[in-house]
């Protein structure tokens, strides 16, 4: 077994996490865990160790009395306290021996992270389809709905990811945002995007562009427009940052044009009006031209 191979299987669709332990003289593993994960209550680690839910590099369970195994790797399953249930389901658009294509709902994170573990699209699909080795080929923001690709066969993942890296995948998005009659459309918007240090958001700054989006107006209703967005690059929050920079931030965006912060975890009343409408590519293994389209829709806001 290689050092990177997990000695324990996925559980409820969640693959185990690991930690490489440093050299040190902690009296026991429990003492180290309390210091290393100070944000996690001591009772949580005590319970995990008492139940044998922390494992050594060979997959053997540690106990509360286990000495500190310096320079070894431990494995465990990530958990969150009182994880909020996301009451929306993904639809399966396509499945074969290499690919699963899902139509992701708003509010559902793609992969485990932070306060989201069970309530993620990857975890749900692994359990629902009995595919513990399923992995995402690309990402969508938690707030964004629409088409997302997953790889069934780990040996094929690199081939699909190469399509994204070499920009051989055509992605089409839709958004509802404020209508500005002074904005000339269609247009190609290019800018240099950088993440603000210590913050979650991206900002445009002066310099050679590293992001590009084609923006088209599909329809207008009062003060609002429905836009088609065709990204040529795939920077973090690119579409959200680009429209905000043009003065037409996407409806219900909590992060742009200014940092407002997260809503309550169980507030599903105002989804971000951004949808990954379609994705097209030539399959590197079958040679078949593939196009997958979301069946979801964005809702126009009230007239006022």
Supply the pLDDT for residue 265.
61
Domain boundaries, the chain: 17-76, 91-293
Looking at per-residue confidence, does 165 or 41 come out higher?
165
Supply the pLDDT for residue 116.
65
Supply the pLDDT for residue 130.
92
The string of pLDDT tens digits covering residues 35-61 is 988 878 899 899 989 999 999 999 999
Cβ-based neighbour number of residue 201 at 10 Å:
16
Residue 9: is its pLDDT beyond 90? no
Confidence of residue 3 (pLDDT cuts 50, 70, 90): very low
Residue 261: is its pLDDT beyond 90? no
Q: What is the mean pLDDT of residues 222-238?
A: 96
Looking at per-residue confidence, does 3 or 246 come out higher?
246
Supply the pLDDT for residue 38.
83
Q: What is the mean pLDDT of residues 275-284?
A: 98
The string of pLDDT tens digits covering residues 80-99 is 667 788 999 999 999 999 99
79-85 contact pairs (CB < 8 A, 24+): 79/44, 79/117, 80/115, 80/116, 80/117, 80/118, 81/44, 83/115, 83/116, 83/117, 83/118, 83/119, 84/115, 84/119, 84/265, 84/266, 85/119
Per cent of the chain over pLDDT 70 is: 93
Cβ-based neighbour number of residue 161 at 10 Å:
16
Confidence of residue 203 (pLDDT cuts 50, 70, 90): very high
Name which of 259, 296, 289, 302 is nearest 173 in CA terms. 296
Residue 259: is its pLDDT beyond 70? no
Name the 3-class secondary structure at 29. helix
Supply the pLDDT for residue 1.
40
Q: What is the mean pLDDT of residues 115-120?
A: 75
Supply the pLDDT for residue 304.
54
Distance separating alpha carbons of residues 110 and 114, to the nearest angstrom: 12
CATH of domain 91-293: 3.30.2350.10
Per cent of the chain over pLDDT 90 is: 74
Longest CA–CA span in the chain (Å) reads 69
How many angstroms separate the Cα of 128 from the Cα of each of 90, 106, 125, 145, 189?
A: 11, 19, 5, 19, 40
Distance separating alpha carbons of residues 95 and 146, to the nearest angstrom: 16
**DSSP 8-state symbol, 116:** B
Sheet containing strand 54-55, strands side by side: 17-20, 73-76, 54-55
**DSSP 8-state symbol, 155:** G
Q: Which of 24-38, 71-85, 208-222 has the lowest mean pLDDT?
A: 71-85
Please tell me the pTM assigned to this model: 0.78
Cβ-based neighbour number of residue 287 at 10 Å:
7
């Amino acid at each position: 077994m290689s050092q990177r191979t997990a000695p324990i299987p996925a559980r409820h669709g969640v693959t185990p996490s690991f930690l490489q332990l440093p050299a040190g003289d902690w009296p026991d593993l429990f003492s180290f865990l309390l210091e290393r994960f100070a944000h996690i209550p001591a009772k949580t680690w005590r319970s995990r160790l008492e139940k044998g839910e922390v494992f050594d590099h060979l997959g053997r369970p540690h106990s509360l009395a286990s000495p500190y195994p310096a320079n070894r790797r431990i494995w465990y399953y990530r958990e969150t306290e009182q994880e909020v249930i996301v009451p929306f389901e993904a639809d399966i658009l396509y499945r074969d021996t290499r690919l699963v294509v899902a139509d992701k709902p708003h509010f559902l994170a793609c992969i485990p992270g932070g306060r989201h573990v069970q309530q993620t699209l990857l975890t749900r699909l692994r359990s629902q389809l009995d595919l513990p080795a399923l992995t995402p080929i690309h990402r969508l923001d938690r707030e964004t709905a629409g088409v997302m690709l997953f790889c069934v066969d780990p040996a094929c993942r690199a081939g699909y990811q190469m399509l994204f890296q070499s920009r051989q995948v055509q992605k089409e998005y839709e958004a509802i945002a404020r209508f500005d009659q002074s904005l000339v459309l269609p247009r190609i918007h290019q800018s240099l995007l950088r993440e603000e240090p210590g913050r979650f958001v991206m900002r445009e700054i002066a310099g050679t562009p590293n992001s590009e989006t084609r923006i088209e107006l599909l329809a207008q209703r009062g003060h609002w427009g429905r836009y088609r967005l065709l990204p040529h690059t795939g920077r973090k929050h690119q579409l959200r940052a680009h429209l905000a920079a043009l003065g037409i931030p996407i409806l219900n965006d909590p992060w742009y044009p200014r940092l407002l912060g997260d809503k309550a975890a169980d507030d599903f009343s105002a989804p971000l009006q951004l949808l990954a409408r379609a994705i097209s590519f030539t399959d590197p293994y079958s040679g078949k031209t593939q196009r997958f389209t979301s069946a979801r829709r964005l809702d126009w806001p009230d007239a006022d």
